[in-house]
Amino acid sequence: MIEVLYTSDGKTYLTQQQLSKEIKDELIVHGGRINLVDLQQLLNVDYSHIETRVNEMVKKEGHLTLVLGQLISNVYRDHLAEEINDLLQEKGHVTIVGLTQTHDLPADFIREVIDKYLGKKIKGQIDNYDRDVIFTDAFVARMKAQIRGAFSAVTVPTTIGPIRQAIGCKEHLFHTILEDLISSKRLAGSVSGSRQDKSQFLPEIYTRAQSEWIDSFYKQNDYLEYDALTRLGISDPKGYIKKRFKSEQLVFLSSCCVGPGISEQVQYSVDEALNTGTWVDIKTVLPSILSEKDASELLGSCLKTRPNAIVCDSTIVGSDKLVTESTEAFNDIMTQRAEAASKAQPSVLSNEAKHSGGDKSSHSKLAGLDDGSSAREDKRDQRRKKAATAGSSKKEGTGGREVKMKSTKKKGGRGRDIDDGSDEEASGHGAGSAATNGPSKGKQQDLKFLTVAEIEEVLRKQTHLQDCPRELISEIASKLHRPLTRQYQEVAKSIFLKGSGADRKKTAQEIQDKVNGLWTNAHLFEKGIKLFEDPTQGQLTKHLLKTVCSDLANAVVIAVASDNMMNLPAESDEQLSPEARLRLIGTLPREIQEPLSRLHASLNGASLEDFFQQTEVLCGPSYLGILLKKADKKKERQLVFNHRHSLGEQLKAERDPAMTLHLAVVLLFQTLTQCMLHCPGRLVPAVLTHLGSLMEADALVDLTAMQNLVVQLMKLKADPINTDAEEAEVMTQMNDLLDKVKAVALNTRKSAAVTEEH
């Protein structure tokens, strides 16, 4: 049965095959492209029949395509490819967007046709960066010629965007051509920035001229100013200079950088001034372009190794010798004023002498210790002098108030106000440093020397400072003010004390230095002790308490006794025995005996913490007022180094085998742990055992052998039936090991330690 279709007017009918034939005929007539709506009107057949038939034809015949309601054949594709090629050859480049608008076809279809006929009917190429652009080789050559010509004429840094827009080239193609021209050396220059219109083209002629100018300027002047490089178009002056002058020893300042010539000139001028004891203003050797901040920074870099130099006004450097030399100008003035003060203000000086006579703290560096044999007599002499001047003091309103004050006692004896009529003072037990504000204020008010302005006036008259700038003289005066004031107070007091017959034997500074030295050593030895376990740790602690800590306790007890004007025993300058120390404590006032007794008792205990606590109490402001300084890391390292060096020197000179082993073990412990150790000879085996965990076993062979020989010799000496020959044989073996033991101790370094990782 044959299926037939009726026309829209119903007058005729046709078969499916006839409909297909008529559709193909119309497609040929219309050049291979026809709209289905137009087919419906031409064939006078219902649109649904045409659409159905066209879909079947597209499925069966591969050369037909239905695109947006249009039936297209290969004939039209060929014709479209020819039209695209004609347009491409005419314009040099086309875009898929433009072809879509021209031919009223979707972009995918246009792209499909181009991909199929490119290189065949379409003579061109696709942009690698923009697949929607097709251009011809002639177009590329034309763009390349225009770009080459445009940039060949550029002699200064130029933004790329305006040139590209003037040429009319696509951005990606433009940058591709430009990069090819630069890489092939056809264009001499470079591009700064990414592939954007904002990037700049830097012609080589400009960069070469720029570099030549910079090199020439630096060679002539030995400095480069950042602003000058910025004006040349360099956005990062510091980075450019670092890259350009890698091998130069430049110093980068705030506004410029200077070369080694200027730095060395400044360094030489500063060194010469400091070494010869003069001054220099480095502005005279610096370029005028350098700001005050630049000069200050450059001077700071030159003075890193000369911290004692005087710096003022950012550029003036003076030697510290100017300060020391200037003090001589005040000797006569100081003596005259001190003599006048000793006559005009005897009560103030007498009171100051009493306070400083027993004060070992850092704030009374001017006085020393009274001689033990004459302490009470000196105190009575001072009391008589104050009594003689009491009447005039009352009238003047200076010393009378002190005479009338009641005797008040404070714990420790050092905080008591002074009463001339007190019984304790008459017995020689009442002299301590004043803790009240009255004497302190009197000292500050009445024992002043010269003001800073007055010191300046004196300095300006000195020959060696006549040419000095005002700023440097002011700086020297400010540095001299406090030392001169302290020196003046010392001179005034010494003049007064000469009249009273006082004989100062030791200064407070000596006491403070001795106490601080022993205090620091005790803490350093404590670090080494903490590396051991009990019972060795306890034995080392007791040994430290009996030796170094006992010396520290003796120094504290003697200082307190001197502070209270006690007659010191004959052995006080040497080593106080525990019994002598206890007897001396018993002669002191009761309120002082208690803390001193606790200090004495802590030496017989087994705790360093208890001893340190009692020492801090006695050195505190209530008693001695000694500032116990903790060694900083740098000073501590220096002390440890000095101790190790001293041990090494002793070991080199030592010939006794037992002492050699002792020194070697202690030196090895300090080398491997960086901690000092204070141990008795009986604990040498325990320390040697501890070293076994820090050293290789081979390195301990000679030490262990020497230890065994020392023990063997001790047993032979204790044995009444041994022979001299046996002792001689052991001694011979020990002497043979002597140099080996020394070598192990002296040559071992910290890196030889056996670490946990190993």
Pair 375, 588: CB distance under 8 Å: no
* 228 token code pair: 């000058």
Partners of residue 318 on adjacent β-strands: 279, 310
Most confidently predicted of 224-228, 370-374, 747-751: 224-228
What is the structure's pLDDT at 414? 37
Check pLDDT > 80 for residue 639.
yes
Pair 659, 636: CB distance under 8 Å: no
- Give the amino acid at 222: D
Top pLDDT among 391 and 18 is at 18
What is the structure's pLDDT at 396? 38
Rounded percentage of the chain residues whose pLDDT exceeds 70: 78
* 437 token code pair: 């504000």
What is the structure's pLDDT at 127? 67
Instruction: Please identify which residue in the block is written with the tokens 């700038």.
Output: 469
Check pLDDT > 70 for residue 581.
yes
Counting beta carbons within 10 angstroms of the beta carbon of residue 316, is it exposed (0 to 12), middle (13 to 18) or buried (19 or more)?
buried
Residue of 457, 480, 454 lying closest to 318 (CA atoms) = 480
- Per-residue 3-state assignment (H helix, E strand, C coil) for 636-689: HHHHHHHHHHHHHHHHHHCCCHHHHHHHHHHHHHHHHHCCCCCCCHHHHHHHHH
What is the structure's pLDDT at 573? 47
What is the structure's pLDDT at 354? 53
* Sign, Cα dihedral of 680, 684, 686, 687: positive
Phi-psi region of 197 (alpha: psi -120 to 50; beta: other; left: phi over 0): alpha
* 728 token code pair: 């001689």
Read off φ and ψ for residue 252, nearest 5 degrees: -90, 120
Check pLDDT > 70 for residue 427.
no
Task: Note if the pTM is more than 0.85.
Answer: no
What is the structure's pLDDT at 9? 66
Top pLDDT among 341 and 450 is at 450
What is the structure's pLDDT at 191? 78
The order of strands in the sheet holding 251-252 is 223-225, 256-258, 251-252
What is the structure's pLDDT at 10? 65
* Chain mean position to CA 145: 58
What is the structure's pLDDT at 337? 78
Model confidence at 48, pLDDT cuts 50, 70, 90, reads confident
Top pLDDT among 360 and 183 is at 183
Pair 358, 433: CB distance under 8 Å: yes
* 114 token code pair: 């181009």
What is the structure's pLDDT at 662? 92
d(CA 369, CA 573): 12
Q: What is the DSSP string of 702-715?
A: HHHHHHHHHHHHHH
Residues whose CB falls within 8 Å of the CB of residue 69, separated by 6 or more in sequence, listed in order: 35, 36, 37
What is the structure's pLDDT at 543? 92
pLDDT digits 0-9 by tens, 680-732: 988 889 888 888 888 877 778 888 888 888 888 888 887 777 777 788 888 88
Check pLDDT > 60 for residue 314.
yes
pLDDT digits 0-9 by tens, 584-632: 888 888 888 889 899 999 989 888 899 888 888 888 888 888 888 777 7
* 533 token code pair: 């376990």
Model confidence at 659, pLDDT cuts 50, 70, 90, reads very high
Class of domain 137-206: mainly alpha
User: What DSSP state is assigned to residue 605?
Assistant: S
Partners of residue 103 on adjacent β-strands: none
pLDDT digits 0-9 by tens, 79-90: 888 888 888 777
Pair 12, 4: CB distance under 8 Å: no
Most confidently predicted of 48-62, 83-97, 319-333, 606-620: 606-620
Residue of 222, 279, 282, 300 lying closest to 256 (CA atoms) = 222
pLDDT digits 0-9 by tens, 517-528: 888 998 889 888
Q: 355-359, 370-374, 464-468, 691-695: which has the minimum mean pLDDT?
A: 370-374
pLDDT digits 0-9 by tens, 211-243: 888 888 888 888 888 888 888 878 788 888 888
* Average pLDDT value for the chain: 75
Top pLDDT among 165 and 224 is at 224
Expressed in angstroms, the distance from the first to the final Cα of the chain is 102
Exposure string for 63-78, b = 16+ CB within 10 A, e = fewer: ebbeeeebbbbeebbe
Instruction: Please identify which residue in the block is written with the tokens 């000292």.
Output: 443
What is the structure's pLDDT at 663? 92
CA-to-CA dists, residue 668 to 16, 316, 446, 660, 699, angstroms: 114, 50, 58, 12, 11
Check pLDDT > 60 for residue 371.
no
Check pLDDT > 60 for residue 289.
yes
- Give the amino acid at 350: S
Pair 484, 455: CB distance under 8 Å: yes
Residue of 705, 652, 640 lying closest to 677 (CA atoms) = 640
CA-to-CA dists, residue 193 to 129, 197, 532, angstroms: 18, 9, 66
Residue of 169, 113, 138 lying closest to 102 (CA atoms) = 113
d(CA 8, CA 5): 9
d(CA 534, CA 673): 18
Cis previous bond, 439, omega within 30: no
Pair 272, 317: CB distance under 8 Å: no
Top pLDDT among 736 and 340 is at 736
Pair 9, 19: CB distance under 8 Å: no
Partners of residue 311 on adjacent β-strands: 317
Q: What is the DSSP string of 561-601?
A: HHHTTPPPPGGGGS---HHHHHHHHHTS-HHHHHHHHHHHH
* 453 token code pair: 């302005």
Max alpha carbon distance in the chain (Å)?
161
d(CA 665, CA 688): 6
Instruction: Please identify which residue in the block is written with the tokens 């020819």.
Output: 82
Residues whose CB falls within 8 Å of the CB of residue 406, separated by 6 or more in sequence, listed in order: 417, 419
What is the structure's pLDDT at 515? 87
Check pLDDT > 60 for residue 489.
yes
Top pLDDT among 197 and 294 is at 294
SS3 280: strand
SS3 165: helix
SS3 201: strand
In this prediction, residues 533-562 reach a mean pLDDT of: 88
In the chain, where the domains are located: 4-129, 137-206, 222-319, 358-375+391-434+503-630, 633-752
